Amino acid sequence: MSTTFSEKLTKAFETSDPKTSDLSYSSESSSSAANNNNSSSSSSSGGKLNNSWRNFKDSFKPPASNSQILRDSDLESNTDKPGDGNDASATTREGAPLKQTLKKRQLQMIALGGCVGSGLLVASGLALGTGGPASLLIAWAIVSSFLYCTMQSLAELSSCFPVSGSFATYSIKFIDPSWGFAMGWNYALFWVVVLPLELVASSMTIKFWNSDINSVAWVAIFYVLIIFLNLCGNKGFGETEFVASVIKLLGIVGFDILAIVLICGGGDQGYIGGKNWHPPFASGVKGVISVLLTATYSLAGTELVGLTSAESAGDARKTLPKAIKQVVWRILIFYMLSLTLIGFLVNAKEPQLASDDSSVSTSPFVIAIQQGGIKGLPSVFNVVIMVALLAIGNSAVYGFSRTVLALAEQGLAPKILTYVDRKGRPLAGIAVSAIVGLLSFVSASKYENEVFSWLVALSGLSTLFTWGSINAALIRFRQAMRAQNRSIDYIPYKSSTGVLGAYYGLIMNIVVLALQFWLALYPVGVKKPLAKTFFETYLAAVIVLAFYIGHKIWTKNWILLIKTEDIDIDQGRSDVDMDMIVQQIAEERAALAAKPLYYRIYNFWC
């Protein structure tokens, strides 16, 4: 009986003994395999290169539909794995296909060390000289207290509504579209001016080593680096923030340990004790008020973790609140403990603190190390400062691009800003941020100080408006729940400070804004109001008011607040089956109640 071709093929694969296989077919298959191997080796490198180049080019295209993605070989590669940021399934809603690839560890480090930069490491020195060590602690304690309430409000809102550009979206949804419009652009302006400011500040850290290289060259290098990191998508942002936060955490903790040694007499100055705490106040009540704005500036950006809610991997009702809990440790370790030690180590009358030079040489951390007589360590800490500044520049591009994306999706910004490519990058927003970032090259101009003083004015009070709006949004959300007879059991994560904490946060933001208005008119040591001084301090408030009134006039919407019964508390929720969520929460609480006391305490704070 003759053997068919298919039988010979089957036999060739099933047997491992060459004697039992068909000889003529083996010869043919061997020859064919050799030819295939030769052609494969000659074309594999070129094919891989061409495929990689096509993938790179196509990644900038608009997202394809699911069926098209399955057919499009250019977006498929054998190296893609689920959850690595390259798979098309890792997206949010169709309107903004951002990749949900930010990991839990990244979110926790963003909440813990993200945006810790020049406000703490450099500007705190000027605050110490202006107000004294007691003013420093009082101001930071006040701001930290209502910041904690604000972050708890944000945790509750984010667990329910994990949306892109959360701050503006919450204001539009729960307060008023015009106020949301003003808050969105207020927050976008804050981040877009932070980029050039941090680029210049980063380049100035190089001067600590007396570099002969023009600072503009370093601005260009840092500019390219930050834009490149943001073009790597949220994976690039997340890993950069994670590494930078670890470096900052190690640097600050290391300094705190060193500071205790120096205070006890381990440095060239001998025993220091509390001698630098006399006098505790340098400028009385007005000094404390002036330091409040510096404290707010240093803590600004803590809320950035809320912007990541639409790009977080895992269950948003668990990951974000867990990350936001780290804020209390951020406040205690990075700020309160460090500033307490700085007050012991550096005298408020130290001439370097009052220097007009805003470089790292005015940092109270560097001054303390130098006065301790420790060689080489000031350079190490200068590296920590430079990393912190660059990380904030990286966050600035991320914060701006996501905020304007959310505004554009709701028709409050040009439609082109809704463009998100296949890798989940809001390219239009990144491009605008990159263009504005070119202002950093003004550092080569004789008008540098004037330009940057007004850039700072644009963002000076921005954070207070943002924090106040977050608390107001939570208050309105709870009012809407009550007006529509909804149980708060349907809230996945409840703020530990509750509605009272939200009221406290809102009232304190308003109080600080009012005090800053008085200080803008009558700064420390000035008795006659000056228009230039006022607008350098309060320009951000004027811009917010202009945005708000302008939107009211444009839309002809004169309603001040959305009625609580008209607030849509279902659209945009992370969970649709609320009964199932209530059951899950009850099971989780029962499981937690069965844990030991130490674990319950740990879970509450961490």
pLDDT in tens, 209-241: 877 788 888 999 999 999 999 998 888 888 999
Q: In this model, does residue 356 exceed pLDDT 70? A: no
What are the CA-CA distances from residue 448 to residues 212, 386, 439 (Å)? 20, 20, 10
Q: Please give the average per-residue pLDDT across 546-560, as a whole number.
A: 92
CA-to-CA distance for 297 and 120, rounded, in angstroms? 9
pLDDT at 198: 87
What is the pLDDT, as a whole number, of residue 492? 83
What pLDDT, on a 0 to 100 scale, did the predictor assign at position 216? 87
> 20-29, 55-64, 385-394, 506-515 — which is least confidently predicted?
20-29
**Cis-peptide into 279, omega within 30 deg:** yes
- Burial class of residue 246 in the structure, from the number of CB atoms within 10 Å of its CB (0-12 exposed, 13-18 middle, 19+ buried): middle
Ranked by mean pLDDT, the top range of 32-41, 342-351, 358-367, 585-594 is: 342-351
pLDDT higher than threshold 90 for residue 258 = yes
Domains and CATH numbers, the chain: 104-575 (1.20.1740.10)
Residue 41 pLDDT greater than 70, yes or no? no
Query: What average pLDDT does the segment 355-366 reach?
Result: 70
Confidence of residue 431 (pLDDT cuts 50, 70, 90): very high
**Alpha-carbon gap, residue 380 to 399, rounded angstroms:** 29
Contact 504, 146 (CB under 8 A): yes
pLDDT tens digits, 115-153? 788 888 888 888 898 899 999 999 999 999 999 999 999
pLDDT of residue 16: 42
Confidence of residue 387 (pLDDT cuts 50, 70, 90): very high
pTM over 0.85: no
pLDDT > 90 fraction of the chain, expressed in percent and rounded: 34
Identify the band that residue 547 occupies on the pLDDT scale cut at 50, 70 and 90: very high
Computed over every residue of the chain, the mean pLDDT equals 80
pLDDT of residue 44: 59
Rounded Cα distance between 159 and 371, Å, is: 47
394, 240 contact by CB (below 8 A) = yes
Rounded Cα gap, residues 454 and 460, in angstroms: 10
List, for residues 317-338, the tens digit of each pLDDT value.
677 777 788 788 888 888 999 9
Q: What pLDDT sits at residue 473?
A: 95
